[in-house]
């Protein structure tokens, strides 16, 4: 994969995440970052700016090559992971607890009324 392909594909993913989950507005990645930077951690903004700058250099400067493709890929992956919303562990524990309690209550009701419903089986 060429530098341009790599950079454009990765930056498009990040642009999409910023627009979808952070309500970013603007033409390029720098404008999108600026429009939602108050909702992003400072370190994330630095890395997003790095990605945007590399994208612009690769696309607009003739003959520019990424110096370290693996570092660029790693930064993009990290930003994708950070910008992709996930349910917290607390939420998953809460949902699991509710399901467990509902199951136990259903089982208890079933056992209490077994004599009245066993003829149905």
Of 20, 26, 31, the residue nearest 85 (C-alpha): 20
Residues 68-87 have pLDDT tens digits of 999 999 999 999 999 998 77
Average pLDDT of the chain to the nearest whole number: 92
Can you give the residue ranges of every domain in the chain?
3-83, 89-120
| Mean pLDDT along residues 15-34 | 95
| Mean pLDDT along residues 47-59 | 96
Considering the entire predicted model, what is its pTM?
Answer: 0.70
Give dist(CA 9, CA 13) in Å, integer: 6
Does 1 have pLDDT greater than 80?
no
pLDDT computed for residue 88 by the predictor:
73
Task: Judge contact between 7 and 72, C-beta under 8 A.
Answer: yes
| Mean pLDDT along residues 40-52 | 94
pLDDT computed for residue 119 by the predictor:
82
pLDDT computed for residue 89 by the predictor:
80
């Amino acid at each position: 994969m060429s530098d341009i392909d790599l950079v454009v594909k990765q930056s498009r993913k990040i642009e999409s995440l910023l627009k979808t989950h952070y309500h970013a507005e603007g033409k390029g990645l720098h404008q999108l970052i600026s429009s939602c930077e108050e909702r992003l951690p400072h370190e994330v903004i630095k890395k997003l700016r790095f990605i945007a700058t590399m994208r612009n250099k690769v696309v607009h400067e003739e003959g520019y090559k990424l110096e370290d493709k693996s570092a660029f890929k790693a930064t993009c992956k990290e930003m994708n992971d950070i910008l992709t919303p996930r349910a917290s562990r607390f939420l998953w524990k809460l949902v699991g607890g509710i399901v467990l309690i509902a199951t136990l209550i259903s089982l208890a009701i079933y056992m209490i009324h077994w004599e009245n419903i066993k003829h149905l089986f």
